[in-house]
Each structure stands twice: as C-alpha cells, then as structure tokens.
Amino acid sequence: MRVLGESDVLFILAAVRWTLLLSVIAFLGGAIGGLFVALARTGEITPLRYVAMGYIKIFQGTPLLMQLFLAFFVPGIFGFNVDPWGAAALGLSLHASAFLGEIWRGSIETVPRGQWEAATSLGFRYWAKMALVIVPQAVRIAVAPTIGFLVQLIKGTSLASIIGFVELTRAGQIINNATFRPFTIFGLVALVYFVICWPLSAYSRRIERKLAVAGR
C-alpha cells in the first residue's frame, strides 16, 4: 500500500477519454443498429417485425453484464480473439441498438396516423413515406429519450471494467488496489461521472419541457 499521489489522480482522469470514446462508439453502433430495428418493427414485412421484437426482448430482458461476458468469451469459441476493447464496444453497441430501436419505434408510432394516411394518399411508397414524412417528425419526439439513454449508456460503460477494459471505473479500481483509499478514489470517480452525465440529463429535461409546451 502506498500514498495516493497526483499521478494517481491524473491516471484516473486520463481514463475518462476511454469512457467517452467507448460511449461514442457504442452510441454510434447502437444508432445504426437501432435504426434498422426501429424500421423493422414499424415496417410492413411481418417476419422482420418478429425478428426485431425478439432481438429487443433478448437484450432488454438480460443483464448488460452478461451481454458483455458473452461478447468477450463467445467469439473465442469460434476461434476469434477479441480484446476487452472490441468486446466492450460490441456488447454495448448491441445493447444500445435494442434500446434505441425501441425508443425510436415508439417515436415513429407517435406520429399521428393522419400523417401516415396523407403520405399514402400522395402515392409515397414505404421508404419515401418514412424518409420524407414520418422520420423527420419522429426525430423531434425522439431527441429527449435518446439523450436520456445516452446518459445510461455512459454509466453502463463502467461494467466494461469486469472484462478488463481500463476505463474510468477500472482505473479507479487499479489505484484503489495500490493505495487502499476507496472513499477518496471512488468519490472522485463518482464526481467525474456526475460532471459528464448531469449536463446531458439537464438538457434532456429541458427538451422534454419544450416539447410539452409546444404540444399544448
């Protein structure tokens, strides 16, 4: 056991970049997958709707920690070596795609049916209808819950420490094992998460209030 020093604090703060980078990659991967899931859930092809529904149920009905374990260990069964970084990015992206897909599915279905019928009466096919009429309106509805999920995703990156990925939480664990100052170290870690997440949460609430006023 040694004394907690400035270099230890800097090591923890430096790990923030990996938390943020992992969050961005997982969010972008989840956004791509979530768009396909949302369109499949609201589309006209029945088998795709059921596949998307099953995908959502699996990832919403199982713990994120288990999903990260599977993303880390399952590829090895088939001869693929996945490092903690790749496994964390894959597991969180799959997790995010299920939740974002459901958020966006709800936003799409919130668009008034009159808009759907108007687009159909103008002769728009499904993809043109979605791209030109429905999705632009759904995006406005989806902004607040999407930002809210991003906050949850940032906090969820802490579970990547279990598979050895050195992000903010894992950096705190490493320094705590060397200095045994849990209150100070994990208090700092919690403060950093708060500084990252609170502005996003506040912005999400602000967007929700603006939408509520606009909808009156």
Token match 């969820």: residue?
A: 156
In a domain, 50, yes or no: yes
Q: In this structure, what token pair is assigned to residue 166?
A: 């050195």
**pLDDT score of 127:** 82
In a domain, 58, yes or no: yes
The Cα 69–Cα 22 span in angstroms is 16
| Ramachandran quadrant class, 123 (left: phi over 0; alpha: psi -120 to 50; beta: rest) | left
**pLDDT score of 63:** 96
Q: Which domain holds residue 206?
A: 6-214
**Could you report the per-residue pLDDT of 175-188, keeping only the tens digit for each?**
999 999 999 999 99
In a domain, 157, yes or no: yes
Q: Provide the CATH number for the domain around residue 179.
A: 1.10.3720.10
| Averaged confidence pLDDT in the chain | 91
**pLDDT score of 81:** 86
Q: pLDDT tier at 105 (50, 70, 90 boundaries)?
A: very high
**Could you report the per-residue pLDDT of 43-80, keeping only the tens digit for each?**
888 999 999 999 999 999 999 999 999 999 998 888 88
**pLDDT score of 215:** 52
Q: What is the DSSP letter of 62?
A: S
Is the pLDDT confidence value at 214 over 90? Answer: no
Q: In this structure, what token pair is assigned to residue 144?
A: 């607040």
In a domain, 57, yes or no: yes
In a domain, 199, yes or no: yes
Q: What sign does the dihedral 170-98-54-62 (CA atoms) show?
A: positive
Is the pLDDT confidence value at 112 over 60? Answer: yes
In a domain, 1, yes or no: no
**Could you report the per-residue pLDDT of 118-172, keeping only the tens digit for each?**
888 888 887 888 888 888 888 888 998 999 999 999 999 999 999 999 999 999 9
Give first-to-last CA distance, the chain, whole Å: 61
The Cα 97–Cα 59 span in angstroms is 9
Is the pLDDT confidence value at 212 over 80? Answer: no
Is 48:40 a contact under the CB 8 Å cutoff? yes
Cβ of 83: how many Cβ atoms within 10 Å? 12
Q: 63 CB contacts (<8 Å, ≥6 apart)?
A: none
DSSP symbols for 95-124:
HHHHHHHHHHHHHHHHS-HHHHHHHHHTT-
Number of separate domains in the chain: 1
Residue predicted with more confidence, 48 or 214: 48
Angle separating helix axes 16-42 and 46-60, nearest 10 degrees: 150
